Structure 1
């Protein structure tokens, strides 16, 4: 939703990719006899590794990422798989029931995947591409695949790569295992020449501590795990686990960190470090109630721990936000402006809403009580958010990266951070299986995932199921909706409708589409705010648009919903379908004529002529505007109101703004005469520019001495602002001077 679909602009790239897949398919099952010699393969790989794209140097880059044809992860333990060699590999084949042992013979290089040249025991070589790995600043590629490291690839996928060479591609994290140097599965001729003397748990613990001090958290986890495999006293094991929990925290493996602290059975002689780290793990897992309980215990047992007191205060703030929906939105805006990426430390508030089955659209989100226009329904922190550097920030830093994600199976090309989103979600679910179920419960079309979640004591995450869920449920988002709205305030442009940053918001994903929406989403950093845009009765389904219909429903708009597998049947889409083409053409012709009229000198005669043309445009609609909002009319009507305001024709301006509201389906009193109290009886369709309409009305009423009406219009302006920006704390600074 609101992601930057660039399929049309990159159709040639998509078609070339599809043709390449088609040609490769013809060679499926073939055992190639033209593989590169080890020497040539090594020279080619090292030349690639020294290229500019693999150097991770600062600059502005666009990375093209191709989604492979979907295939399931291996769900068999290694013990049930048969060993094969490079010579036995067949092109375009998933070698089900097999595994291959490979030793890295080069340093790795990183582009969209971590790439390394590997050999088997027969000294045959093959390039290996490992996808969905952490970014370099989080985990260096040398930690994943480096010279001398032995890797076990389950059910290897051998294919023709984009450069025409042959190689192995790994898309699922659980399909590749890095073997420790003491692993019995490593062939004798690959084992270290210098055999390490068996180390004690104590010496390994000290070695792990040193690794942590040097920031080598992944190494420390492996070393502590080796220490725990040694015979030692229970108290010593508990200390090693506590130390390992710190490394798990630093690598965002919060499930494992929590387990290593001994949670929930600490006992009254609980370790200070164990309690503190358990609290940190629970906080990051967003289990705030349990976190609060643990930190309360920590503060009671260790009252001099000032960090514990600060952490306790912080989690109580999150609990308050979670329970009440009371947020300091001014603070949120300041944080979003300052933090990069704009990932805010706040809780999710779920208001009076719940997921239910709908009659015809699968699951949806419904209000559980009556709500008023502007009421807060959700203030949700993203499950995962992928930030695209803003142009201004990119210019300052000299760095930016945008990905083009190409999916031949869905025929879509998306520009933005979807590739980063995919990688981050896969990593999050792999390292924290406890959070996976909420995400995998989201709509994923007809994709059939695997029914196994753990193999060889490691989580199984289906990358292609994750990609499918993202394609249906991700939202494009600005840094903050206040910045998008500023374009409206200063007439710079329409509100943004496509964004490079994107994220997944679990609860909001259940809201179905309608062009005539009754709710509105807005963003502050990685927080999505959803407010009602009209008064809603209990049990009403919430709806917002997936594509903004701000200028009517243009030809081809219906096809934009094909990806989600539905056809919009809202009153606007239905009216367009039932309207004869001649009438649609007349509307477009009249609209163009009025747009041109605004480009001329706007004297009284010109404004009267525009009024007549607007009336003629209105006459092309047979249904009342409160049933079918007139999206080709309202903005022209607002332009007319602004023209009257510029000429100090206050009463005509008031009437013109009233017609703006009418064209969007509002039912109200008091915008035709200053003597009648101004009041909205029924809210219509929300548009960003309505803030300006109500501000204009506020000012015009004030000029006619209708103070109560002016105050009421000001209240409505603030309410609409709150709907489109998410909060009204910033309203005065943005609109008070208008």
Structure 2
């Protein structure tokens, strides 16, 4: 209930909070404003949240504030201001080892819901015998860009993974025109397109830094997220259910950051699907879309467990999610606090009991 949250934050500001408390409230209100599409107000509140302090904790919070100001500026099409805020953000976070920037790239092609020509389609895959949803506008945009404005990047795009090899990555011309296999591009989009989330969706998943990478087979065209992009470099990064990098999007740009210390020579890994899914569901999806079975440490451990144990754990996690949702959407007074803490402690004990020591130690 973001509108109510915004009212509560604004009431707190009107009540006269000062110092760090006021900055925290302004920063949180800026996020609510972004979700509600109040971009002018979001930018103002984000700037009011800046601390101008060199303490590492406050610098990290200023990074968030600049990011929200930049996001609001982007939505307002104020790109110069957006660039200025992002430059300041990067200057603050340059020494953040755990959050080191690993990749910053603009999309090769992207489509957004606010564009009138944005559309989705449904195709029948004779190999899997499924009707699959696909961001048709991105498919068309990619083909047109390769043929008309960026033929020099044909090999870069067609070398990406797709179940149908088509013409491969070689350049083919006929009568002076570059020839593309539209079905090959279809499969490349299906396996490599990133969903660019709305602010509300980012709120839902940012704890993991994850976004669903592609449209799962069988998805209805009407339910396909409106914003999609093809990032040729990010698509080359392999998967792990225990990734060392997470991604965020600013318009049609992707920013990949380390989520833990990455030593020289270590492979950069991202998650294609959420590790909170049951291992069986993860494996089925990865095999269906990307044609591989994950063998990361998490998958190896979970596949050794009895299915009923995983189901018990999933039930506890679901209950914990409901508790977190209740806490985040309702004001909790002092009389409820002790009860909530005890409930959380019981959930923690139940969750811990689902991890067998001989597998997880």
Deviation (angstroms), 1:559: 1.0
Once the 2 structures are TM-superposed, how far is the Cα of residue 376 of structure 1 from its aligned partner? 0.9
Structure (1/2) with the larger helix percentage? 2
Counterpart check, 1:521 vs 2:247:
yes
What are the equivalent positions in structure 2 for 1:708-723 lying under 5 Å apart?
none
CA distance 1:506–1:608, shift in 2 (3 Å): same
How big is the shift at 1:554? 6.1
Aligned mates of 2:259, 2:320 — CA distance in 1: 29
**Deviation (angstroms), 1:406:** 1.2
Name the residue aligned to 2:353: 619
Residue aligning to 1:384: 109
Q: Aligned pair 1:465/2:184, yes or no? A: yes
Q: Is 2:248 aligned against 1:502?
A: no
1:560-614 CA-to-partner distances (Å, cap 9, x unmatched) read 1122011122222222211112322333454566678887984646643542442
Q: 1:401 to 1:460 in 2, by over 3 A?
A: closer
3-state secondary structure, aligned to 1:516: coil
Structure 2 Cα separation of the partners of residues 400 and 413 of structure 1: 23
Residues 48-63 of structure 1 mapped to structure 2, 5 A cutoff? none
Q: After TM superposition, give the deviation of residue 345 of structure 1 in Å.
A: 9.4
Count of residue pairs the alignment pairs up: 259
2:173 is aligned to: 454
Q: Tell me which residue corresponds to 1:333.
A: 71
Q: Which secondary structure does the structure 2 equivalent of 1:420 belong to? A: helix
- Structure 2 counterpart of 1:537, from 263, 270, 280: 263
Q: CA deviation at 1:496?
A: 6.6
- Per-residue CA deviation, residues 221-257 of structure 1 (Å, 9 max, x unaligned), is xxxxxxxxxxxxxxxxxxxxxxxxxxxxxxxxxxxxx
When the two structures are superposed, what TM-score results if normalisation uses the length of structure 2?
A: 0.60
Q: Distance in 1 between matches of 2:98 and 2:131?
A: 37
1:477-496 counterparts in 2 under 5 A?
A: 477-478=196-197, 484-486=201-203
- The runs of 5 or more residues in structure 1 that have no matched partner are 1-327, 347-370, 391-398, 629-738
Query: Larger Rg: 1 or 2?
Result: 1
**Secondary structure of the equivalent of 2:141?**
helix
Shift of residue 333 of structure 1?
2.5
Give per-residue Cα distances to partners, 1:441-488, cap 9 Å, x unaligned: 222345141656112222212212211221221111125xx5544567
Query: Contact (CA 8 Å) 1:513, 1:544: kept in 2 or not?
Result: yes
**3-state secondary structure, aligned to 2:160:** coil
Q: Is the 8 A contact 2:241 2:298 kept in 1?
A: yes
- The alpha-carbon deviation at position 530 of structure 1 amounts to 0.6
In the alignment, what sits opposite 2:285?
Answer: 560
Q: Is the 8 A contact 1:415 1:500 kept in 2?
A: no
Matched position secondary structure for 2:98: coil
Hey, what's the Cα distance between the residues in 2 that align with 1:614 and 1:621? 11
> Matched residue of 2:269: which SS?
coil
Task: State the distance in 1 between where 2:194 and 2:301 align.
Answer: 28
Shift of the alpha carbon at 1:511? 0.6
Whole-angstrom distance in 1 between the partners of 2:204 and 2:317: 23
Structure 2 counterparts to residues 205-220 of structure 1, below 5 A: none
Structure 2 unaligned spans of 5+: 1-65, 85-95, 216-224, 328-334
Does the 8 A contact of 1:377 with 1:530 survive in 2?
yes
Partner of 2:138: 421
Contact 2:165 2:184 in 1 (8 A): yes
The equivalent residue for 1:105 is none
Over aligned residues, Cα RMSD in angstroms? 4.0
Q: Distance in 2 between matches of 1:620 and 1:377?
A: 35
What TM-score do you get using the length of structure 1 for normalisation? 0.31
Q: Which residue, out of 582, 603, 618, partners 2:308?
A: 582
The 5-angstrom pairing of residues 655-670 of structure 1 reads none
Q: Provide the C-alpha distance between the structure 2 equivalents of 1:597 and 1:522, rounded to a whole number of angstroms.
A: 26
CA contact (8 A) 1:402 1:415 kept: no
Separation of aligned partners in 2, 1:529 and 1:423: 25
1:511 is aligned to 2:228: no
